[in-house]
Amino acid sequence: MLLVAAACTDRSVLTDAGPRGIAPGRGSHDDVVNGAVFTSTNPSDDVQPDPVIDDHNLCTNAKDSDAPANNCNIYRDKRFVWLTGGPTQSALSDGVYVFAVLVPGGQGSHENPNDCEPKNLSDIDPCPTTASGAGDVWTHRVFSISGGVITYPADGYPGGHDYDQTRHMIRVYGYDDTENSGGEYDLAVCSLATATNASLDPLADELTNPPGVAPGDCKYDNFKVIPRTPVCPNPEAGDCVFHTPATLSIAKTISTKWNRTFTWGITKAVDKTSVSQIGGTATFNYTIDVTHDAGTDDIGYSGTVTVTNNTTETAHNVVVTDANAPSLTCGAFVSGSDLAPGGVINCTYSETPASTAQITNTATVAWTSVDVNGNPTAPTASDQKVGTFVETDINGCVDVKDPHSPNPPLPATVCSGDASPTEFKYARNITVNADECDPYDNTATIYKTGTTIVLGSASKTVTVCGGVAGGLTMGFWQNKNGQGIITGGLSTAGVCNSTTWLRQYLPFQDLAALSTCAQVGTYVTNIIKAANASGAAMNAMLKAQMLATALDVYFSDPALGTNKIGAPKPIGGINVDLTKICKMIDGSGGTATCSAFYYSTSAAFGGATALTVSGILSYAASQSNAGGSVWYAQVKATQELAKNTFDAINNGVALTAP
């Protein structure tokens, strides 16, 4: 350790001229004191079979490879402190100096280094110090330095301290024990260039006349000695031992958690699930309920406990405990084991308390050791931390969104302090499209607030069915417009294509197989004119309505007779709801004055609830003989169901089915 203890002098100042007129305590002489002094260990002298100072570890803060330990400032024993000149470039200027070991002053101040001052530990009786007899007169502490090399004793002064002539080092010992509770000492190295009592014959007044150096002409540095007492059970056998208590430190951390997690739910209801109507707008009324629970608490505290042996002694029977951490585990360390010098025990714990009350957690390490005299001891060390629980809400709020809800009421944010359930209502209007029966999904979703993380959703699907559009009535196909479409139809080898298409159905097989389009037109006119529902059966009316529907299918399909009637789509492929066929309000049948009164005609189609228009034609034809004179076993009520179905299609009031 470099001691900032620089000085400068010249041997020529040591004359017989007597005291110089410079009193202790005057100002600094930086022009006189330059350079530095180093302290060091000296293993070549101190590592010997001397039972008092035989200790290979001379310095506590230097590596064993440092020999000598120039960077030492904590020594194992007072005897191990040596003065050395250090590197030439940093050494004291050439000259003569005196050194003294002092009790440290406070706040950077330094005590008077002259003998017989109260804090001088290097002087000797009758000076007023500890009077242990460890010191000597100041003249025995005078040395010279030249080119960084210490010479001892200085010319004209007696010796008294160990001097290593090979390393040019002086043992600082003896000096009394410091009054400092931490074992600290202050080394003063002072120039005699301006000392008041330095002379060529110093022995004449060495005891009664201190050197008279000024504190300002000194350099100072601190060093520390670990207080120890050698224990010598049998001193004559040389078995003295230095006992150093093993001291452990303990450090604890604690972290707390109090997470309250809320669980959310969402439901959705609608006043109806389907609407079937001819055109217009269908309105659905939705209700969304968002619910939450009271929250689930996750409470805990965790942390670490670290035990460290910073001494050079082994601690025995080490036990680590934590008053409120029964889960404490210390890795591979086995409780009751030893902890070697420099050893560290790393422990962790994680606990679940019964409540969120503040917790005080104390970790303790106990071990056995010896005191400086070798007596058994059972010291302990502890560290205490206080854990405070602060509630952190997880999913404390949610964002409620529904793409079909107007704003307001959605989107909205619902929090754990709000009512459960929190209700939202809104209406959605859907345009009814002809020839379509479509599902419309409506999903409400709750998200973790401010994110896209989904916490729940609820859906309702409604169906909106429009009317079967594009159909034309019997009257149309009898008038000139309808007749023009029929007679203007395509032919193959003189046979009207519609002839072949109509004859696939048994009721129309009374149409001549080679009929021209003109003949088809006449056939249609005659069938429609003969339509009548009176009597025991209504074959004639059923045949006429079915014929109109067949023509609607044929002349709406580009693949058949081309779309000559301008239908939105081919009518034959449209699915018809057979459970909702329009009926006159008086119950007499027919559709001309349908007033939103519907009934099922499924019985006329084998119980089917829905069929395509082409499917309806095929089924009705399957219940007839060739020409349609016997139909549905001549059961008029069933014939009427079939007739009303075709009538609804032809009048554009039949409803589509999914």
Query: CA dist 593 to 434, 582, 590, 597, Å?
Result: 20, 9, 8, 10
Question: Within this chain, do residues 159 and 76 fall inside the same structural domain, yes or no?
Answer: yes
The strand pair at 397-401 and 380-387 is best described as unpaired
Is the residue at 566 inside a domain?
yes
Question: Using 50, 70 and 90 to split pLDDT, how confident is the model at 475?
Answer: very high
* Low-confidence winner among 46-60, 200-214, 343-357, 557-571 (lowest mean pLDDT): 46-60
Q: Please say if the pLDDT value at position 222 is more than 70.
A: yes
Nearby residues of 98 by Cβ (< 8 Å), 6 or more positions away:
113, 138, 141, 142, 143, 189, 190, 192, 195, 211, 213
Q: What is the pLDDT, as a whole number, of residue 49?
A: 46
Quick check: helix, strand or coil at residue 24? coil
Q: Which of 327-336, 385-394, 582-591 has the lowest mean pLDDT?
A: 582-591
Tokens 């202790």 found at: 24
608, pLDDT greater than 90: yes
Q: Is residue 428 part of a domain?
A: no
Q: Tell me how far apart the alpha carbons of residues 321 and 299 are, in angstroms, rounded to a whole number.
A: 22
Alpha-carbon distance of 470 to 379, in angstroms, equals 103
What CATH number should be reported for the domain holding residue 313?
Answer: 2.60.40.10
Strands 495-496 and 149-151: unpaired
**Overall average pLDDT of the 80-96 stretch:** 85
The two structure tokens encoding residue 198: 């330095």
Q: Residue 332 belongs to what domain range?
A: 243-275+293-403+433-464
Residue 447's beta-bridge partner residues? 399, 454
| 440 and 508 part of one domain | no
Same domain, 256 and 211: no
Work out the average pLDDT over 630-636: 96
Q: Which residue has the tokens 């003896």?
A: 174
Confidence band (pLDDT; 50, 70, 90) for 123? Answer: confident
Secondary structure of residue 250 in the 3-state scheme: strand
Burial of 347 (0-12, 13-18, 19+ CB in 10 A): buried
Both 17 and 144 in a single domain? yes
Residue 333 domain-assigned (yes or no): yes
* Contact between 377 and 245 (Cβ < 8 Å): yes
Across the range 337-357, mean pLDDT stands at 96
| 82 three-state secondary structure | strand
Q: Is residue 420 part of a domain?
A: no
Q: Are residues 512 and 582 in the same domain?
A: yes
Residue 629 lies in a domain: yes
In a domain, 519, yes or no: yes
Q: Do 170 and 187 belong together in one domain?
A: yes
pLDDT at 30: 47
Q: Are 40 and 170 in contact (CB under 8 A)?
A: no
Range ranked top by mean pLDDT from 102-106, 376-380, 554-558: 554-558
Query: Which range, of 39-48, 415-424, 430-439, averages the lowest pLDDT?
Result: 39-48
In a shared domain, residues 226 and 364: no
Mean pLDDT of 128-144: 76
The count of other CB atoms within 10 Å of the CB of residue 210 is 25
pLDDT recorded at residue 133: 59
Question: Looking at the predicted structure, is the pLDDT value of residue 340 above 80?
Answer: yes
Helices 539-554 and 517-529, axial angle in degrees (round to 10): 140
Q: 188 near 218, Cβ under 8 Å?
A: yes
Asked if 116 and 214 sit in the same domain, the reply is yes
Residue 287 lies in a domain: no
Do 93 and 215 fall within a single domain? yes
Q: What is the mean pLDDT of the chain?
A: 86
- CA dist 398 and 241 (Å) reads 73
**80 pLDDT higher than 50:** yes
- More confident of the two residues 143 and 236: 143
- Quote the pLDDT of residue 17: 28
**pLDDT at site 110:** 79
d(CA 398, CA 424): 14
74 Ramachandran zone, left/alpha/beta (phi>0; psi -120 to 50):
beta
Counting the structural domains of the chain, the total is: 3
- Kindly state whether residues 46 and 161 are assigned to the same domain: yes
pTM of the model: 0.58
Mean pLDDT of 264-287: 96
Exposure pattern of 72-94 as b/e (b: 16+ CB <10 Å)?
bbebbbbbbbbbbbbeeeebbbb
Strands 184-191, 169-171: pairing is: unpaired
* pLDDT, mean of residues 266-291: 96
Co-location of 138 and 61 in the same domain: yes
The three-point CA angle 352-357-358 to 5° equals 95
Supply the pLDDT for residue 630.
96
In a domain, 423, yes or no: no
Q: What is the arithmetic mean of pLDDT over 133-143?
A: 85
Same domain, 518 and 453: no
Tokens of 64: 């064993």
Q: What is the mean pLDDT of residues 64-93?
A: 76
Q: How confident is the model at residue 19 (pLDDT cuts 50, 70, 90)?
A: very low
pLDDT digits (tens, 9 = 90+) for 33-76: 788 778 888 877 776 444 444 444 677 776 544 556 666 788 87
**Both tokens of residue 23?**
């009193």
Q: What's the average model confidence in pLDDT over 265-287?
A: 96
**For residues 56 and 54, what is the distance between their CA atoms, to the nearest angstrom?**
7
Which uninterrupted H or E stretch holds 523? helix 517-529
Residue range 476-492: mean pLDDT, rounded: 97
pLDDT at 595 over 80: no
Element (H, E) at 227: none
Residues belonging to the chain: 658
